[in-house]
Every structure is written in C-alpha cells, then in structure tokens.
Amino acid sequence: MAGRVVTYGKKIFSITLTFNSLLTIYSAAGILVGYYEFYQRWRPFSPYLVDGFLFWAAIFAAILNVFPATVVGKVKTGRLWFHHYIYGFAVLFLAAVSMLAYSLANHVSLLTPYTKITTDTTINVCRFLALGGLTLVLDDFTDISKGLKSLLGSAKRKVNYANKWVHGLQALLGLFSLYVFSSVTVWIAQSSQNLTAANLILAGTLLVTALTSFASVARKMWRPDPKTIP
C-alpha cells in the first residue's frame, strides 16, 4: 500500500511540475507580448526588475525543466482504458471547442481568449484545460509513437553528453528566474492593488521554476547513460 502511495505521489508531483513549466511559459510569454508591444512606455515590475527581457530566462528555464519533471514521473501506475496522451488530446479538443464557442458568441478573434489579459472565468477555465491537456500529452509523449520515442531518446543522449554545459545553463537560468521572482514579489508587496491572483500565480510559478532548476542541477538529471557510452 505504501509503495502505491509513493508511486502515485511521484506521478502527481511530476505532472504538477510539468504543468508549472507550461504555466511559467504561458505567463512569461504574456508579459513579453506587452513588453514588446509597449516597449518604449512599459517596464514590467519596475524599478525592481531591470528589464522585461529577463522573462525569456524564465521561459528557457521552464523548457529545460520539462525533462526532469517527466523523469520523476517515470513510474508504473497502469492506465485507465487509454494512454494519458489520449485524455490529454481529448482535454485539448474540449478547450479548443470552448474557446471557439466563446469567440463566436462574443464576436472576437479566436486568438483573443489566449492573448487577452482578463479575469473572465470562462476564458481562464479554458486556458487551464488547454495547459492541463498539454501536460498530459507531454507526460506520455514517448508513447505516441515508436519513431517519436526513438527521436527523443537520440536527442536526449546528445544533450546528456554535454551535461556540464547544460547543468551550468540550467543553474544560470534558475538564478535569473529567482531574480525575476524576487522582483515580482517585492513589486507586489509595494501596494495592495498589485496583490492580484494573476500576480500571485506568476510569482509562485517563477519560484517553482527556479527551485526545479536548482534541484535538477543538484541531482545531476542531465548525465549520460553508462550503457550508451562507447
């Protein structure tokens, strides 16, 4: 019984970390859109963040964190009828249909619900579904096809041979992400008006991204498999 609890705990933890990576990418991308659109007039989280460009570091850190997150979840939990990616694609389809219905009902572009800064419950639920569906797909990505599994395995081995560089890069990106988190947190603390759900989620996801980067480096997640070394 204890073994099953640990197994499912690892799987849930893995999915949570993957979801956080996607949420970091989405949140940071939203900030960067505004940063480039209003480049001369907007400095996000100023004066604590020196430049909004640093959100790119959070995005790249989150991308690198997807690998260690999925490694944690490599446990045998069995499956209910289908692979996880089937459910993931189903959730993605549901999110897409919901977004399409919203766009048609409100006479707006299909991209508007994905790019608009809003507290609208319908839009945010659809966004949550889209990120959740993509998380399930990534969690089971290598099972989609043998060819894809082989391609990803080959790419992973090549990256692993440069593990020292990757660990160094991940540590650096983690430091930048921690700095961005600190800047956002201090900025939020300056006024009660800054204390919004969106800002708190942004700060939280940046902190988890930074800590995941450091944990990945500490555990040396990127390293060659001794069996593959000639």
pLDDT in tens, 152-208: 666 666 666 667 788 889 999 999 999 999 999 999 999 888 998 889 999 999 999
The helix/strand/coil state of 39 is: coil
Question: Do residues 8 and 65 both lie within one domain?
Answer: yes
Same domain membership, residue 18 and residue 115: no
Reported as a pLDDT band with limits 50, 70 and 90, residue 113 is: low
Q: How confident is the model at residue 220 (pLDDT cuts 50, 70, 90)?
A: confident
Burial 99-134 (b: 16+ CB within 10 A, else e): beebbeeeeeeeeebbeeeeeeeebeebbebbbbbb
- The pLDDT of residue 74 is 63
Q: Does residue 100 share a domain with residue 37?
A: no
Using the CB atoms, write b or e for 195-208: b if 16+ within 10 Å. eeeebeebbbbbbb
Same domain, 23 and 65: yes
Q: Is the same domain home to 135 and 205?
A: no
Q: Cα angle vertex 76, ends 72, 82, to 5°?
A: 110
Work out whether the CA dihedral 99, 101, 106, 110 comes out positive or negative: positive
134 and 121 belong to one structural domain: yes
Q: Which domain holds residue 110?
A: 84-139
Is the pTM for the entire model greater than 0.85?
Answer: no
Q: Find the mean pLDDT for residues 69-89.
A: 68
**59 and 134: one domain?**
no
Which of 71-85, 113-127, 141-155, 187-201 is predicted most confidently?
Answer: 187-201
pLDDT recorded at residue 116: 66
